[in-house]
Amino acid sequence: MCPKVFSEVSFYIRHGRHHTVMPSNINYRANIWALKEENCSHVLVTTACGSLREEIQPGDLVIIDQFIDRTTKRHCTFYDGQHSSLSGVCHVPMAEPFCAKTREVLIETAKKLGLQCHSKGTMITIEGPRFSSRAESLMFRSWGADVINMTTVPEVILAKEAGMSYASIAMATDYDCWKEHEEAVSVDKVLKTLKGNANKATSILLTAIPQIGSMEWTDTLHTLKTTVQCSVILPKQ
């Protein structure tokens, strides 16, 4: 799905306008590559998620800083040895998957707007499209995950390989199914909470994007590009 261009900002809807594409079938590589072809330097995303922590309440926002990958069916690299792919094998570092500088802008913007926002959190991405069993939800909590969704991976990895600054606003809609005496996650519950959260995320983006555009990013983007270049092992000629 190619992004629609609005002035100097490009955007796309992961699941399609009518949510017809399930998480596993999203063409993440095409989406990120299309943004790269538009010369985008930053990828700012929003994502609905379930909360795995008491303190992250439905309606809260989380500027995530780490992820755990529980997906199994997705293309997670541009360097997969196929004829149409980039040459070589890329072992890109993932100690800091999300751009710290961009995250800081989002965090400060949320504070200025008076929004309930957690400044860090670990996202666990599952394959979906089903929600977790209670046993899985409890296991993910024991692993240290704070929120759960179905789309952060491989998007964040591909953005890193593309040398782009990536940051995510996670919008908590429910408590997944781990919490006793709490209604388990359902589509109706997610959509109801998401409607209110969407306005919060939009406010952050509308304020943060002009600020990001006015900042100096040469060193940050150079570091991202260099990291990728140093991570690719090219085939011997």
pLDDT in tens, 37-65: 999 999 999 999 999 999 999 999 999 99
Share of the chain above pLDDT 70, in %: 97
- Contact at 8 Å (CB) between 124 and 145? yes
The stretch 69-84 carries a mean pLDDT of 92
**Residue 174 falls in the annotated catalytic set:** yes
**Comparing 191 with 119, which gets the higher pLDDT?**
119
Share of the chain above pLDDT 90, in %: 80
Mention every residue, 6+ apart, whose C-beta is less than 8 A from residue 65. 96, 97, 98, 100, 103, 120, 121, 122
Q: Vertex 75, ends 44 and 88: CA angle to 5°?
A: 100
Give the model's confidence band at 182: pLDDT under 50 very low, under 70 low, under 90 confident, else very high. confident
Q: Where are the beta strands (DSSP E) in 122-218?
A: 122-126, 147-149, 165-174
In a domain, residue 3? The reply is: no
In a domain, residue 216? The reply is: yes
**Residue 176 falls in the annotated catalytic set:** yes
pLDDT of 208 higher than 90: yes
pLDDT value of residue 217:
97
pLDDT value of residue 1:
32
In a domain, residue 11? The reply is: no
pLDDT value of residue 5:
36
> What mean pLDDT, rounded, does the chain reach?
92
Query: Is the model's pTM score more than 0.85?
Result: yes
In a domain, residue 131? The reply is: yes
Number of domains in the chain: 1
In a domain, residue 94? The reply is: yes
For tokens 């500088």, what's the residue? 101
Give the model's confidence band at 221: pLDDT under 50 very low, under 70 low, under 90 confident, else very high. very high
In a domain, residue 227? The reply is: yes
Lowest-confidence range among 7-21, 82-96, 116-130? 7-21
Mention every residue, 6+ apart, whose C-beta is less than 8 A from residue 160. 92, 94, 97, 166, 224, 227, 228
What is the domain extent for residue 43? Answer: 27-233
pLDDT value of residue 3:
39
pLDDT value of residue 194:
75
Which position among 146, 174, 188, 219 bears the catalytic label? Answer: 174
pLDDT of 132 higher than 80: yes
pLDDT value of residue 16:
85
Residue type, 173: T
Distance (Å, whole) CA 128 – CA 186:
13
In a domain, residue 18? The reply is: no
In a domain, residue 8? The reply is: no
The stretch 8-27 carries a mean pLDDT of 88
CATH of residue 222: 3.40.50.1580
pLDDT value of residue 237:
65
Distance (Å, whole) CA 184 – CA 186:
6
Which position among 65, 69, 176, 219 bears the catalytic label? Answer: 176
For tokens 């943060």, what's the residue? 208
